[in-house]
Amino acid sequence: MVAAPLAAFGVIQLVIGLVLGRRRTARLRRITARTTGTVSGYDFLGEGRVHPVVDFVLGSEVFQAKLKYRAVVRISGSFIRGSEVTSDPLAKTLKIRENSRGSRTRIPEIFPLGSALEVHYNPADPRENFAVRDHGSVAAPLLIWMGAGFTVLAVILGVSLGVSG
């Protein structure tokens, strides 16, 4: 009785993960052109998360891209002085050591206004873009693995309950 809903839950997760993965792959296939843009500002998302905003010009139009991070890992403590980026600032995951009582982000110092960053974009629709590299997502692989796990668990439960019942 328990195995069927568990299997359905697993299959739903698996399907959603596969759809998300295919959408991301299709998006990356469309983004084939590159140019250089300049940092024009910052998108402050709260909790110290900051994305540099990069302007790039195609013809007479100005477009914007953002350098996004998959995750920001913070190591904080009362005895740490200031704030320091401990990983490559262009990596998908940004690692920061900071004072837990009040540190400011270092992103504007690492990517000052006017600095150049590479932008990748879709030539057919330049609004579909990213700066430097695609930040990726853990959602699709996580859903695929969890869905497969729940489906396998449901099969094991179904077999063991069917044998004992």
Global confidence as pTM: 0.68
Q: Please list the pLDDT of the chain residue by residue as tens digits (165 residues).
A: 678 888 889 899 989 989 888 888 888 889 889 999 999 998 887 666 678 899 999 999 999 999 887 777 777 777 767 677 777 777 777 777 776 666 566 778 888 899 999 999 999 999 998 887 666 677 777 888 898 898 898 888 888 877 554
Say how far apart CA 35 and CA 113 lie, in whole Å. Answer: 18
127 burial type by CB count under 10 A (0-12 exposed, 13-18 middle, 19+ buried): exposed
CA atoms within 13 A on the CB side of 135: 17
Say how far apart CA 15 and CA 5 lie, in whole Å. Answer: 15
For residues 81, 83, 84, 87, the Cα torsion angle rounded to the nearest 10 degrees is 130
